[in-house]
Structure 1
Amino acid sequence: MIMNLGKRAFAIVVSASFLGLAACSSAPEQENIERVPNKSAQALYDDAKQTLDSGLYARAIELLSAINSRYPFGPYSRQVQMDLVFAHYQTGNTEQALATIDRFIRLNPNHKNLDYMYYMRGLVNIKADKNAFQEYFGVDRADRDASRTRVAFQDLSTLVKSYPSSPYIPEAKKRLGWLLNRMARYEIKVAQYYFEREAFLAAANRGKYVVEHYSQSSYLNDALLIMEQSYKKLGLNDLSENAKQTRALNKR
């Protein structure tokens, strides 16, 4: 009974702490909005656009948030939300950017600029997947969970399939190629992990997954080599030879 009371008290303390943090985090945002001068929606948006174009993204977020708060149904409301996505992306606030994008898509399913929102959603998920510190110091992070990468790939694939005339298509296709290699490389790293621990069937299956799903990536030969070696260790000589011959053909 004493232990249960202790757990309950701990839960109350933790809950109170989170509530306090939430209050603290929302208070500065409200203060920032209040600091923005009282102007018309157009005057505020002109200021925000100039600030955004100057690369002052934190200040742009203050101005855009003020417009969003004071004129939620005004003529600039949708453009303000799109600009907020870009500003949050530039400041690295990926969670806020994604929340704004998802809300925009949900409330404006037929908007003419949905292609931009899917494009930005892909870019935001790519940024969320990166670890600047480890990349800066050259640490190989191909073994990280690739869930964000898969979501980014899905976002940009939606853009390419649903909006083929979008001006963002060329850049999206470049990013899709990079994401495909990123996902394939992750599977190869996992396959190598299994192979080193003599889990040869699991290693072969990972290699097979790359062949089946990421054959357009630059890791096809790596996948076939893992399959060849893993099947050989398992005594599945026909399958091993098959992978070997396919790898030889692929090199031509």
Structure 2
Amino acid sequence: MINRIGKRAFAIVFTVSLLGLGACSSAPDEEDIQRVPNKSAQALYEDAKQTLDSGLYARAIELLSAIDSRYPFGPMSKQVQMDLVYAHYQAGNTEQALATIDRFIRLNPNHKDLDYMYYMRGLVNIKADKNAFQEYFGVDRADRDANRTRVAFTDLSTLVNRFPDSGYAPEAKRRLVWLLNKMARYELKVADYYYEREAYLAAANRGKYVVEHYSQSSYLDQALEMMEKSYNKLGLPELSEHAKLTREQNKRK
């Protein structure tokens, strides 16, 4: 009894802590920006950079936002926006980070650091998809909607396809493999859900989707197995046998 109460109390404290962190890391309002000292753009940027390097992201966001507001067309404006993206990302302000990235891409379609912005867009969407509770308590949430994962996959694919020589491309490729497996795993989780409820056609279609769209993932064999047993339940022996033979051929490769 005491142990369960202790766990519940810890969960409540943990929840409050997360809410507190979210409040602390939210974007500054106009009043916060007005409180920033009236210095030159260069002096403010030096303060912001030092603060950012120290990991004081909330304060760095205030300083960078002040520069962005006061000197929107200054020589450092593009660098300030890129630093704002990074600061928002580190602070967990995913929506603010995405808004800054989208504005940058829209206004600077040919900028030399556009590859970085697409890379960060992918990272931000990955972060937005994460759940603090699932990570802390080890809860498997592969059945959650995979929309953010798909968007992150598109962002990083854009980077790799448009900027193959980018210094961010190798890391983007590694993350694409991980995202591909995550999306395939999500589809199979849904397929399992349908199969357990005897919705065999829906389960087979989810398996087929993995085969058609995520054949390079590590879940191809499981997808074919899902098709095989689902078609068997539906009384479609030819389709079931075809899925089985395809599995066997893939194993021999």
Superposition deviation, residue 60 in structure 1: 0.6
Listed one character per residue, the Cα deviations across residues 130-181 of structure 1 (whole Å, up to 9, x for unaligned) are 1011221111100000001000000000000000111000110011001000
Is 2:244 the counterpart of 1:244? yes
Superposition deviation, residue 205 in structure 1: 0.8
For residue 209 of structure 2, what is the aligned residue in structure 1?
A: 209
Alpha-carbon distance between aligned partners in 2 of 1:216 and 1:237, rounded to the nearest angstrom: 26
Correspondences of 1:169-248 after superposition (within 5 Å):
169-248=169-248
Amino acid at match of 1:104: F
For residue 38 of structure 2, what is the aligned residue in structure 1?
A: 38
Tell which structure's C-alpha radius of gyration is larger. Answer: 1
Alpha-carbon distance between aligned partners in 2 of 1:206 and 1:66, rounded to the nearest angstrom: 49
Count matched residues: 227
Moved over 2 A (4+): none
Superposition deviation, residue 251 in structure 1: 2.1
For residue 49 of structure 1, what is the aligned residue in structure 2?
A: 49
Secondary structure of the structure 2 residue equivalent to 1:100: helix
Secondary structure of the structure 1 residue equivalent to 2:215: coil
Alpha-carbon distance between aligned partners in 2 of 1:108 and 1:155, rounded to the nearest angstrom: 17
Superposition deviation, residue 69 in structure 1: 1.1
Listed one character per residue, the Cα deviations across residues 118-140 of structure 1 (whole Å, up to 9, x for unaligned) are 00000000000110112211111
Correspondences of 1:65-84 after superposition (within 5 Å):
65-84=65-84
Secondary structure of the structure 2 residue equivalent to 1:141: coil
Superposition deviation, residue 35 in structure 1: 1.9
Secondary structure of the structure 2 residue equivalent to 1:246: helix
Superposition deviation, residue 38 in structure 1: 1.3
Correspondences of 1:129-140 after superposition (within 5 Å):
129-140=129-140
Alpha-carbon distance between aligned partners in 1 of 2:37 and 2:234, rounded to the nearest angstrom: 72
Correspondences of 1:143-162 after superposition (within 5 Å):
143-162=143-162
Superposition deviation, residue 242 in structure 1: 1.1
Alpha-carbon distance between aligned partners in 2 of 1:207 and 1:72, rounded to the nearest angstrom: 50
Superposition deviation, residue 53 in structure 1: 1.1
Secondary structure of the structure 1 residue equivalent to 2:55: coil
Amino acid at match of 1:103: R
Amino acid at match of 2:194: Y
Alpha-carbon distance between aligned partners in 1 of 2:171 and 2:153, rounded to the nearest angstrom: 13
Superposition deviation, residue 247 in structure 1: 1.1
Alpha-carbon distance between aligned partners in 2 of 1:222 and 1:137, rounded to the nearest angstrom: 27
What is the root-mean-square deviation in Å for CA atoms of aligned residues? 1.2
TM-score (norm 2): 0.87
Superposition deviation, residue 58 in structure 1: 0.8
Superposition deviation, residue 246 in structure 1: 1.3
Alpha-carbon distance between aligned partners in 1 of 2:61 and 2:251, rounded to the nearest angstrom: 51
Is 2:88 the counterpart of 1:88? yes
Q: Structure 1: 5+ residue runs without aligned partners?
A: 1-24
Superposition deviation, residue 30 in structure 1: 1.8
For residue 99 of structure 2, what is the aligned residue in structure 1?
A: 99
Is 2:137 the counterpart of 1:166? no
Superposition deviation, residue 71 in structure 1: 0.8
Correspondences of 1:103-122 after superposition (within 5 Å):
103-122=103-122
Amino acid at match of 1:208: K
Moved more, 58-67 or 32-41: 32-41
Alpha-carbon distance between aligned partners in 1 of 2:69 and 2:100, rounded to the nearest angstrom: 14
Amino acid at match of 1:94: T
Amino acid at match of 1:87: A
For residue 12 of structure 1, what is the aligned residue in structure 2?
A: none
Amino acid at match of 1:123: L
Alpha-carbon distance between aligned partners in 2 of 1:110 and 1:238, rounded to the nearest angstrom: 53
